[in-house]
């Protein structure tokens, strides 16, 4: 054990772990982001208040059980750097780390204690092949690591390769993802409680489309978690 610790310390001297937020060296117990940068990311109250501003995005549109974003999205913040690293710099570890942070909040929340499966919002196969991975699946893996809930990547599929949502207005986002998802032909999710996982929610149009599609399963309940709400 002590030999392993000495070896890890030696490796850290040669290849120091760097905070994604401030580019300073991380301490041994820190992961992806330093304690100071993490402290300055504003957390939401979504895991303690059921009718929060994320859930309100879906009022009058689709029925959901619970919804929570871990953080408030702030432009040019450490959180934005982490999400950018996850989506565009192949930093899968940041997604797993953020998923674990979500799971720790879920563990003590009364709203997420009966989840049967985790479903990451799917990418179109072409886009996933180009990127090499699905960032939402990385987040889901972090949640699974803590809560031991199975991940389902088969039941919900993206059938249309839509354009990026980043620079679209609210109507364009909704139109862009209107009918882009489909379910596989099985009944495994009938009467199940699903946790739908995404990175950042702005208008909720993508998640709304996912939920509409999942409602084809009889008796399904859907809850949502994301890293951040913009």
Which pTM was predicted?
A: 0.86
Looking at residue 14, its pLDDT comes to 54
Report whether 65 contacts 223 (CB < 8 A). yes
Per-residue confidence band for 84, with pLDDT thresholds at 50, 70 and 90 = very high
Query: Mean pLDDT across the chain, nearest whole number?
Result: 89
With 90 as the cut, is the pLDDT of residue 73 above it?
yes
Structure tokens at 195: 């946790």
When pLDDT is averaged across residues 159-176 and rounded to a whole number, the result is 59
With 50 as the cut, is the pLDDT of residue 227 above it?
yes
Percent of the chain with pLDDT over 70: 87
More confident residue, 82 or 166: 82
Top mean pLDDT of 2-11, 49-58, 125-134 is at 49-58
When pLDDT is averaged across residues 16-21 and rounded to a whole number, the result is 93
With 90 as the cut, is the pLDDT of residue 175 above it?
no
With 50 as the cut, is the pLDDT of residue 173 above it?
no
With 60 as the cut, is the pLDDT of residue 67 above it?
yes
When pLDDT is averaged across residues 141-165 and rounded to a whole number, the result is 89
Q: Is 187 helix (H, G, I), strand (E, B) or coil?
A: coil
When pLDDT is averaged across residues 102-124 and rounded to a whole number, the result is 96
CA distance linking residue 149 with residue 162, whole number of Å: 29
With 50 as the cut, is the pLDDT of residue 2 above it?
no
Report whether 143 contacts 197 (CB < 8 A). yes
Per-residue confidence band for 170, with pLDDT thresholds at 50, 70 and 90 = low
């Amino acid at each position: 054990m002590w030999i392993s610790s000495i070896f890890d310390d030696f490796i850290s001297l040669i290849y120091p772990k760097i905070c994604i937020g401030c580019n300073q060296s991380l301490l041994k117990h820190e992961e992806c982001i330093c304690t100071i940068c993490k402290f300055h990311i504003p957390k939401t109250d979504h895991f303690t208040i059921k009718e929060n501003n994320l859930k309100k995005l879906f009022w009058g549109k689709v029925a959901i059980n619970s919804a929570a974003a871990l953080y408030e999205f702030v432009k040019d913040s450490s959180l934005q750097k982490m999400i950018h690293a996850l989506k565009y710099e192949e930093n899968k570890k940041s997604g797993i780390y953020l998923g674990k942070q979500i799971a720790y909040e879920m563990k003590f929340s009364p709203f997420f204690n009966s989840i049967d499966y985790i479903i990451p919002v799917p990418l179109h196969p072409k886009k996933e092949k180009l990127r090499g991975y699905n960032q939402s699946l990385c987040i889901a893996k972090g949640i699974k690591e803590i809560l031991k809930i199975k991940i389902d990547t088969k039941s919900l599929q993206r059938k249309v390769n839509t354009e990026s949502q980043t620079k679209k207005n609210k109507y364009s986002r909704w139109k862009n993802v209107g009918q882009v998802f489909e379910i596989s032909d099985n009944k495994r999710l009938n009467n199940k409680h699903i946790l739908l996982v995404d990175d950042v929610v702005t208008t909720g149009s993508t998640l709304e489309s996912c939920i509409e599609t999942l409602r084809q399963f009889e008796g399904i309940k859907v809850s949502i978690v994301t890293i951040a709400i913009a």
